[in-house]
Amino acid sequence: MAETQVPDNLLYTEEHEYVLRVGDDEVLVGVTDYAQNELSDVVFVELPAVGKSFAKMEPFGTIEAVKAVSELYTPVAGEVIAVNDALQSDPSVVNRDPYGDGWMIRLRVSDPTELDELLGPAAYRALISES
């Protein structure tokens, strides 16, 4: 099995979402390589409408694989400003490229200080090594 990728330029949640900063107050959110490996074959992703706002750690959608359905959580409070529509026709891109084309939502962050509460790469590696 290939080693789980944990890029150093991302932040992480204990629920296995990642956050990529793409501006002062904007982030991309998706599921980690570890999460997509655990789920295996992703067959459906349900994402919210653009313009919807979420509190920190509020469910924003679901990801369905052959063997499980899991909720997706918003790592920080914010408003959805884009969703990855490509996942509707090809949800398996989450398996192939979770940190690239497999991103799920783009958020305008309500409170950027919440980003400081997320796990850094070393802490996330420690978390998944215990699993």
- Residue ranges of the domains in the chain? 11-126
Q: What is the mean pLDDT of residues 86-111?
A: 97
List all residues 6 or more positions away from 52 whose beta carbon is below 8 Å from its beta carbon. Answer: 60, 79, 80
Using DSSP's 3-state secondary structure scheme, residue 14 falls into coil
Under the banding of pLDDT at 50, 70 and 90, the label for residue 2 is low
Q: pLDDT, tens digit, for every residue of 110-131?
A: 999 999 999 999 999 999 998 7
pLDDT tens readout for residues 64-94: 999 899 999 999 999 999 999 999 999 999 9
Query: Which CATH architecture best describes the domain 11-126?
Result: Beta Barrel (2.40)
